[in-house]
Amino acid sequence: MPIQPGFELTKKAILERLTQEEIFEKYLGLEVDDGVFYCNPLRPDKRASCRYYYNAKGVLYFHDWGKYHWDCFAIVQYKFGGLSFTDAIRKIAKDFNLLNSDVNFQQQYVTLRIKERAEVKVAVRHWNDEDLKFWKAGNITVDTLTKFNVHPIKAFWINKEYYRCWQSDPTYCYYFGNGLYKLYFPKRTTARFYQNIDQIGDDLTQGWNNLPETGDILFLTKSYKDVMSMSTFGLISDAVLSETHVIKPEKIELYKQRFKKIYTLFDNDQTGRRLAIRYYRNYGIPYLMFPKSWKKDFFDNVRLFGVDKMQEIINIWKNE
């Protein structure tokens, strides 16, 4: 199995990429809380007498008063039949995907999409300066991200399979309620999204939960980034899940009941033009599109022109 450049199978290398808590929680299935007593899941145990604790050097242990006293590596050695220390480290690296490249994730992505809806869980982290710089380019602040239920994450699980997120490959989670997630990997060139949403069955749109009851103009766009960026300029929008997603007639009718005018604003590339024409033919919805000499979508044009220039452009739209 290929090893990522610079990664050596050592205890130090593992703990630079994982926390002791993450390792314990994966293999014991018990949330780390040093104020709680647990039954030991690795043996028949009806009395909750085991607990986590940290020693003076900050090493986390799971102490079974009946028999055992483990750090996170010893847990793996014991649980899997007395593995050697080296084999335990190798197993942790494999199970946490430290040895897998993006290609492996893409293969998993394709496999999951053809099964029943995947169960997704995420571990949220704090925003950092790099996150804020990325979103600020589109005039999006943390307040806007919070309003639209977007969060940076440090790890995620798909059908209980663990995936670690790296600073070099940041991951953002869009949560739409009812267990429906979309994960966004902005620095990737392929497999940039993962979602457990059935475009046909769910007919979910990215922004529906934040639409006002009524309004003058609704823009149908192609990404959640655009929806959030447009909202900072006072524009109301909703986004399809992908540029092949045609919203059902019943939902289009709801839009028409709530908004006086509807326009599509998809990317100014061939795929976006094709989809815009499809909405016009199916539903009579006229389309707007950025000039070919501009960036293809709203977010990128804010980044190109800046907030003030983009506001001037929007004012021209409103007066036409």
- Same domain, yes or no: 112 and 189: yes
Q: Which amino acid is at 178?
A: N
Residues 74-80 have a mean pLDDT of 90
pLDDT of residue 218: 97
What is the count of structural domains for the chain?
3
Residues linked to residue 61 through DSSP beta bridges, in sequence order = 53
pLDDT-derived band at 19, boundaries 50, 70, 90: confident
Specify which of 41-55, 57-71, 241-255 reaches the highest per-range mean pLDDT. 241-255
- Same domain, yes or no: 163 and 245: no
pLDDT in tens, 86-126: 888 889 988 888 865 443 343 333 334 434 678 899 999 99
pLDDT of residue 314: 86
Of the residues 73, 92, 111, which one is the last residue of a structural domain? 92
Q: Looking at the predicted structure, is the pLDDT value of residue 1 above 70? A: no
- Same domain, yes or no: 48 and 110: no
Q: Looking at the predicted structure, is the pLDDT value of residue 48 above 90? A: no
pLDDT-derived band at 47, boundaries 50, 70, 90: confident
Both ends of the chain: CA-CA distance in Å? 59
Q: Alpha-carbon distance 107 to 291, whole Å?
A: 36
Does some domain include residue 52?
yes
Specify which of 26-40, 107-121, 189-203, 220-234 reaches the highest per-range mean pLDDT. 220-234
- Token couple for 153: 């994450």
Does some domain include residue 97?
no
Q: Looking at the predicted structure, is the pLDDT value of residue 16 above 90? A: no
pLDDT in tens, 122-153: 999 999 999 999 999 999 999 999 999 999 99
Find, among 126, 153, 156, the residue nearest to 142 by Cα.
126
Does some domain include residue 286?
yes
pLDDT-derived band at 8, boundaries 50, 70, 90: low
- Token couple for 166: 């790296």
Q: Alpha-carbon distance 284 to 288, whole Å?
A: 13
- Same domain, yes or no: 27 and 70: yes
Q: Looking at the predicted structure, is the pLDDT value of residue 46 above 70? A: yes
Does some domain include residue 202?
no
DSSP output for the chain: -PPPTT---SHHHHHHHS-HHHHHHHHH-----TT-EE--TTS---S--EEEEE-TT--EEEE-TTS-EE-HHHHHHHHTTS--HHHHHHHHHHHTTTT--HHHHHHHHHHHHTSSPPPEEEEE----HHHHHHHHTTT--HHHHHHTTEEEEEEEEETTEEEE-BTTB-EEEEE-STT-EEEE-TT-SSS-EEE---HHHH---BTGGG--SSEEEEEEES-HHHHHHHHTTT-EEEE-SSTT-PPPHHHHHHHHHHEEEEEEE--SSHHHHHHHHHHHHHH---EE---TTS-SSHHHHHHHH-HHHHHHHHHHHHH-
- Same domain, yes or no: 189 and 214: no
pLDDT in tens, 230-275: 999 999 999 998 877 889 999 999 999 999 999 999 999 888 898 9
Q: Alpha-carbon distance 87 to 287, whole Å?
A: 59
- Same domain, yes or no: 55 and 142: no
Does some domain include residue 5?
no
- Same domain, yes or no: 174 and 240: no
Q: Looking at the predicted structure, is the pLDDT value of residue 158 above 90? A: no
Q: Looking at the predicted structure, is the pLDDT value of residue 154 above 80? A: yes
CATH of the domain at 298: 3.40.1360.10
User: Which structural domain range is residue 115 located in?
Assistant: 102-197
Least confident of 37-46, 190-199, 301-310: 190-199
Does some domain include residue 63?
yes
- Same domain, yes or no: 130 and 164: yes
What's the chain's average pLDDT?
Answer: 85
pLDDT-derived band at 67, boundaries 50, 70, 90: low
DSSP output for 223-268: -HHHHHHHHTTT-EEEE-SSTT-PPPHHHHHHHHHHEEEEEEE--S
- Threshold 0.75, pTM exceeds: no
